[in-house]
Structure 1
Amino acid sequence: MPHLQFEINKKIENNIKEEFITKVMSIFSKVMDTGTDHIAISIREYDKYSLSIGRADIKDDICLMNLDIREGRTLEKRRELVLLYMDLVENLFNVNRKNQYATLTEHKGEDFHLIEKYLGSWERGEDPLA
Protein backbone atom coordinates (compact mmCIF):
# COMPACT_ATOMS: atom_id res chain seq x y z
CA MET A 1 0.00 0.00 0.00
CA PRO A 2 2.04 2.93 -1.13
CA HIS A 3 1.64 6.10 0.88
CA LEU A 4 2.40 8.99 -1.44
CA GLN A 5 2.80 12.22 0.51
CA PHE A 6 3.00 15.66 -1.06
CA GLU A 7 3.79 18.70 1.08
CA ILE A 8 3.37 22.13 -0.45
CA ASN A 9 3.72 25.66 0.93
CA LYS A 10 0.55 27.16 -0.52
CA LYS A 11 -3.18 26.49 -0.73
CA ILE A 12 -4.54 24.45 -3.64
CA GLU A 13 -8.14 24.54 -4.87
CA ASN A 14 -10.17 21.38 -4.27
CA ASN A 15 -10.86 20.76 -7.96
CA ILE A 16 -7.10 20.84 -8.64
CA LYS A 17 -6.50 18.42 -5.74
CA GLU A 18 -9.11 16.06 -7.15
CA GLU A 19 -7.44 16.07 -10.56
CA PHE A 20 -4.03 15.67 -8.92
CA ILE A 21 -5.11 12.63 -6.87
CA THR A 22 -6.63 10.95 -9.91
CA LYS A 23 -3.42 11.48 -11.90
CA VAL A 24 -1.14 10.42 -9.04
CA MET A 25 -3.00 7.10 -8.79
CA SER A 26 -3.00 6.58 -12.56
CA ILE A 27 0.73 7.30 -12.86
CA PHE A 28 1.60 5.00 -9.97
CA SER A 29 -0.53 2.18 -11.34
CA LYS A 30 0.98 2.44 -14.81
CA VAL A 31 4.64 2.91 -13.86
CA MET A 32 4.65 0.42 -10.98
CA ASP A 33 2.45 -2.14 -12.77
CA THR A 34 -0.16 -2.54 -10.02
CA GLY A 35 -3.78 -1.69 -9.18
CA THR A 36 -5.07 1.47 -7.50
CA ASP A 37 -7.31 0.31 -4.63
CA HIS A 38 -4.40 0.14 -2.19
CA ILE A 39 -2.85 3.56 -2.95
CA ALA A 40 -2.90 6.16 -0.14
CA ILE A 41 -2.26 9.83 -0.95
CA SER A 42 -1.71 12.76 1.40
CA ILE A 43 -1.63 16.41 0.34
CA ARG A 44 -0.44 18.67 3.12
CA GLU A 45 -0.65 22.43 2.71
CA TYR A 46 1.61 24.69 4.74
CA ASP A 47 2.19 28.41 5.05
CA LYS A 48 4.68 29.99 2.65
CA TYR A 49 7.63 29.96 5.06
CA SER A 50 7.00 26.50 6.54
CA LEU A 51 8.93 24.53 3.88
CA SER A 52 12.28 25.18 2.28
CA ILE A 53 14.93 23.66 0.06
CA GLY A 54 18.42 25.11 0.22
CA ARG A 55 18.58 25.75 -3.52
CA ALA A 56 15.28 27.72 -3.61
CA ASP A 57 14.52 31.25 -2.50
CA ILE A 58 12.63 31.21 0.80
CA LYS A 59 9.72 32.98 -0.96
CA ASP A 60 9.40 30.29 -3.66
CA ASP A 61 6.70 27.66 -3.86
CA ILE A 62 8.09 24.32 -2.64
CA CYS A 63 6.91 20.70 -2.88
CA LEU A 64 8.41 17.91 -0.81
CA MET A 65 7.42 14.34 -1.68
CA ASN A 66 7.74 11.33 0.61
CA LEU A 67 6.93 8.20 -1.35
CA ASP A 68 6.64 5.05 0.76
CA ILE A 69 6.50 2.08 -1.61
CA ARG A 70 6.98 -1.69 -1.57
CA GLU A 71 10.42 -2.92 -2.46
CA GLY A 72 11.06 -4.64 -5.75
CA ARG A 73 10.99 -1.90 -8.37
CA THR A 74 14.08 -0.97 -10.36
CA LEU A 75 15.90 2.33 -9.97
CA GLU A 76 14.70 3.21 -13.48
CA LYS A 77 11.05 2.71 -12.50
CA ARG A 78 11.47 4.69 -9.29
CA ARG A 79 13.18 7.52 -11.20
CA GLU A 80 10.44 7.50 -13.86
CA LEU A 81 7.81 7.79 -11.12
CA VAL A 82 9.55 10.74 -9.46
CA LEU A 83 10.03 12.63 -12.73
CA LEU A 84 6.39 12.14 -13.73
CA TYR A 85 5.27 13.41 -10.31
CA MET A 86 7.57 16.42 -10.63
CA ASP A 87 5.99 17.25 -14.00
CA LEU A 88 2.52 16.84 -12.48
CA VAL A 89 3.34 19.09 -9.51
CA GLU A 90 4.74 21.71 -11.87
CA ASN A 91 1.70 21.56 -14.18
CA LEU A 92 -1.08 21.46 -11.57
CA PHE A 93 0.47 23.19 -8.53
CA ASN A 94 2.75 25.59 -10.45
CA VAL A 95 5.85 24.60 -8.51
CA ASN A 96 9.07 24.76 -10.50
CA ARG A 97 10.77 21.36 -10.74
CA LYS A 98 13.99 22.77 -9.24
CA ASN A 99 11.94 23.57 -6.12
CA GLN A 100 10.78 19.98 -5.63
CA TYR A 101 12.44 17.21 -3.65
CA ALA A 102 11.43 13.56 -3.47
CA THR A 103 12.43 10.83 -1.04
CA LEU A 104 11.50 7.21 -1.69
CA THR A 105 11.45 4.69 1.12
CA GLU A 106 11.02 1.02 0.30
CA HIS A 107 9.26 -1.41 2.64
CA LYS A 108 8.45 -5.11 2.63
CA GLY A 109 4.87 -5.80 1.51
CA GLU A 110 4.03 -7.02 5.01
CA ASP A 111 4.65 -3.46 6.32
CA PHE A 112 1.45 -2.29 4.55
CA HIS A 113 -1.88 -3.15 6.18
CA LEU A 114 -5.52 -2.74 5.18
CA ILE A 115 -8.48 -4.10 7.13
CA GLU A 116 -8.64 -7.13 4.80
CA LYS A 117 -5.01 -8.14 5.03
CA TYR A 118 -1.41 -7.06 4.80
CA LEU A 119 0.18 -6.92 1.37
CA GLY A 120 2.61 -9.44 -0.01
CA SER A 121 5.75 -8.77 -1.98
CA TRP A 122 5.24 -6.90 -5.24
CA GLU A 123 4.69 -8.95 -8.38
CA ARG A 124 4.33 -7.63 -11.94
CA GLY A 125 0.69 -7.05 -12.99
CA GLU A 126 -0.64 -7.94 -9.57
CA ASP A 127 -3.92 -7.19 -7.86
CA PRO A 128 -2.60 -6.71 -4.30
CA LEU A 129 -6.05 -7.09 -2.71
CA ALA A 130 -6.88 -10.41 -4.43
Structure 2
Amino acid sequence: MPHLQFDVNKELQDEQRKVFLQYVKSVFSEIMRTGVNHIAVSLREFPKYSLTLGRAQIGDFVCFMNLDIRDGRTIKQKRELVKKYMEGVEEILGIKLNNQYVTYTGHRGNDFNLYEKSLDEWTDSDNPLG
Protein backbone atom coordinates (compact mmCIF):
# COMPACT_ATOMS: atom_id res chain seq x y z
CA MET A 1 0.00 0.00 0.00
CA PRO A 2 2.06 2.91 -1.17
CA HIS A 3 1.63 6.17 0.68
CA LEU A 4 2.36 8.93 -1.82
CA GLN A 5 2.73 12.30 -0.09
CA PHE A 6 2.80 15.68 -1.79
CA ASP A 7 3.48 18.87 0.19
CA VAL A 8 2.94 22.20 -1.58
CA ASN A 9 3.05 25.80 -0.42
CA LYS A 10 0.16 26.81 -2.60
CA GLU A 11 -3.61 26.95 -2.18
CA LEU A 12 -5.23 24.72 -4.77
CA GLN A 13 -8.70 24.61 -6.27
CA ASP A 14 -10.92 21.56 -5.70
CA GLU A 15 -10.79 20.63 -9.40
CA GLN A 16 -6.97 20.67 -9.32
CA ARG A 17 -7.02 18.42 -6.27
CA LYS A 18 -9.39 15.92 -7.88
CA VAL A 19 -7.51 15.78 -11.18
CA PHE A 20 -4.16 15.48 -9.42
CA LEU A 21 -5.25 12.69 -7.05
CA GLN A 22 -6.60 10.67 -9.97
CA TYR A 23 -3.40 11.32 -11.93
CA VAL A 24 -1.20 10.14 -9.04
CA LYS A 25 -3.11 6.87 -8.64
CA SER A 26 -3.30 6.01 -12.33
CA VAL A 27 0.37 6.82 -13.01
CA PHE A 28 1.52 4.75 -10.03
CA SER A 29 -0.64 1.81 -11.08
CA GLU A 30 0.63 1.93 -14.66
CA ILE A 31 4.35 2.34 -13.95
CA MET A 32 4.55 0.10 -10.91
CA ARG A 33 2.26 -2.54 -12.46
CA THR A 34 -0.19 -2.86 -9.59
CA GLY A 35 -3.86 -2.20 -8.84
CA VAL A 36 -5.23 1.11 -7.53
CA ASN A 37 -7.44 0.06 -4.59
CA HIS A 38 -4.57 0.02 -2.09
CA ILE A 39 -2.92 3.34 -3.07
CA ALA A 40 -2.94 6.06 -0.37
CA VAL A 41 -2.33 9.67 -1.40
CA SER A 42 -1.82 12.74 0.79
CA LEU A 43 -1.93 16.20 -0.78
CA ARG A 44 -1.06 18.78 1.87
CA GLU A 45 -1.22 22.53 1.36
CA PHE A 46 0.89 24.90 3.44
CA PRO A 47 1.14 28.70 3.54
CA LYS A 48 3.42 30.20 0.88
CA TYR A 49 6.35 30.92 3.21
CA SER A 50 6.20 27.57 5.03
CA LEU A 51 8.27 25.54 2.54
CA THR A 52 11.36 26.27 0.50
CA LEU A 53 13.92 24.42 -1.57
CA GLY A 54 17.58 25.48 -1.74
CA ARG A 55 17.55 26.26 -5.44
CA ALA A 56 14.19 28.07 -5.33
CA GLN A 57 13.64 31.61 -4.15
CA ILE A 58 11.89 32.08 -0.82
CA GLY A 59 8.21 32.46 -1.68
CA ASP A 60 8.39 30.41 -4.89
CA PHE A 61 5.87 27.61 -5.10
CA VAL A 62 7.52 24.26 -4.31
CA CYS A 63 6.46 20.63 -4.05
CA PHE A 64 8.10 17.98 -1.87
CA MET A 65 7.17 14.38 -2.59
CA ASN A 66 7.75 11.54 -0.14
CA LEU A 67 6.92 8.22 -1.75
CA ASP A 68 6.64 5.25 0.63
CA ILE A 69 6.53 2.13 -1.53
CA ARG A 70 7.08 -1.60 -1.25
CA ASP A 71 10.57 -2.87 -2.01
CA GLY A 72 11.23 -4.60 -5.31
CA ARG A 73 10.72 -1.79 -7.81
CA THR A 74 13.52 -1.14 -10.29
CA ILE A 75 15.55 2.06 -10.56
CA LYS A 76 14.03 2.50 -14.03
CA GLN A 77 10.49 2.32 -12.60
CA LYS A 78 11.36 4.81 -9.86
CA ARG A 79 12.95 7.29 -12.29
CA GLU A 80 9.98 7.04 -14.64
CA LEU A 81 7.62 7.69 -11.73
CA VAL A 82 9.66 10.71 -10.59
CA LYS A 83 9.54 12.25 -14.07
CA LYS A 84 5.81 11.60 -14.52
CA TYR A 85 4.96 13.00 -11.10
CA MET A 86 7.10 16.09 -11.63
CA GLU A 87 5.46 16.67 -15.01
CA GLY A 88 2.02 16.26 -13.44
CA VAL A 89 2.85 18.65 -10.60
CA GLU A 90 3.95 21.23 -13.16
CA GLU A 91 0.99 20.72 -15.49
CA ILE A 92 -1.81 20.31 -12.94
CA LEU A 93 -0.58 22.26 -9.90
CA GLY A 94 1.51 24.90 -11.72
CA ILE A 95 4.80 24.31 -9.87
CA LYS A 96 8.03 24.50 -11.89
CA LEU A 97 10.08 21.32 -12.42
CA ASN A 98 13.13 22.91 -10.75
CA ASN A 99 11.08 23.63 -7.63
CA GLN A 100 10.25 19.99 -6.90
CA TYR A 101 12.02 17.34 -4.84
CA VAL A 102 11.33 13.61 -4.43
CA THR A 103 12.37 11.15 -1.72
CA TYR A 104 11.69 7.40 -1.83
CA THR A 105 11.39 5.16 1.20
CA GLY A 106 11.22 1.41 0.58
CA HIS A 107 9.38 -0.99 2.87
CA ARG A 108 8.66 -4.69 3.12
CA GLY A 109 5.13 -5.59 2.10
CA ASN A 110 3.96 -6.33 5.63
CA ASP A 111 4.83 -2.77 6.68
CA PHE A 112 1.67 -1.73 4.80
CA ASN A 113 -1.61 -2.61 6.46
CA LEU A 114 -5.29 -2.36 5.66
CA TYR A 115 -8.12 -3.51 7.87
CA GLU A 116 -8.35 -6.79 5.95
CA LYS A 117 -4.67 -7.72 5.98
CA SER A 118 -1.02 -6.79 5.68
CA LEU A 119 0.21 -6.63 2.11
CA ASP A 120 2.50 -9.26 0.63
CA GLU A 121 5.82 -8.50 -1.00
CA TRP A 122 5.39 -6.78 -4.36
CA THR A 123 5.19 -8.94 -7.48
CA ASP A 124 4.81 -7.78 -11.06
CA SER A 125 1.18 -7.04 -11.97
CA ASP A 126 -0.09 -7.63 -8.43
CA ASN A 127 -3.47 -6.47 -7.23
CA PRO A 128 -3.43 -6.80 -3.43
CA LEU A 129 -7.16 -6.27 -2.94
CA GLY A 130 -8.38 -8.02 -6.08
Global fold match (TM > 0.5): yes
Matches within 5 A, 1:76-115: 76-115=76-115
Over aligned residues, Cα RMSD in angstroms? Answer: 0.6
**Post-superposition CA distance 1:21-49 (Å, at most 9, x none):** 11110000000000000000000000011
Percent of aligned pairs with the same amino acid: 50
2:61 maps to: 61
**Post-superposition CA distance 1:7-65 (Å, at most 9, x none):** 00010001110010111100000000000000000000000110011000002100000
1:79 deviates by: 0.7
Helix, strand or coil for the counterpart of 1:68?
Answer: strand
d(CA) in 2 for partners of 1:15, 1:60? 22
1:117 maps to: 117
Unaligned runs of 5+ residues in structure 1 are none
1:70 maps to: 70
1:76 deviates by: 0.7
- TM-score normalised to structure 1 length: 0.98
Give the residue type in structure 1 aligned to 2:67.
L
Helix, strand or coil for the counterpart of 2:6?
Answer: strand
d(CA) in 2 for partners of 1:22, 1:82? 16
1:32 aligns with 2:32: yes
- TM-score normalised to structure 2 length: 0.98
d(CA) in 2 for partners of 1:96, 1:19? 18
d(CA) in 2 for partners of 1:125, 1:101? 28
1:127 deviates by: 1.1
1:41 maps to: 41
1:129 deviates by: 1.8
1:52 maps to: 52
1:23 aligns with 2:35: no
Unaligned runs of 5+ residues in structure 2 are none
d(CA) in 2 for partners of 1:115, 1:59? 41
Helix, strand or coil for the counterpart of 1:28?
Answer: helix
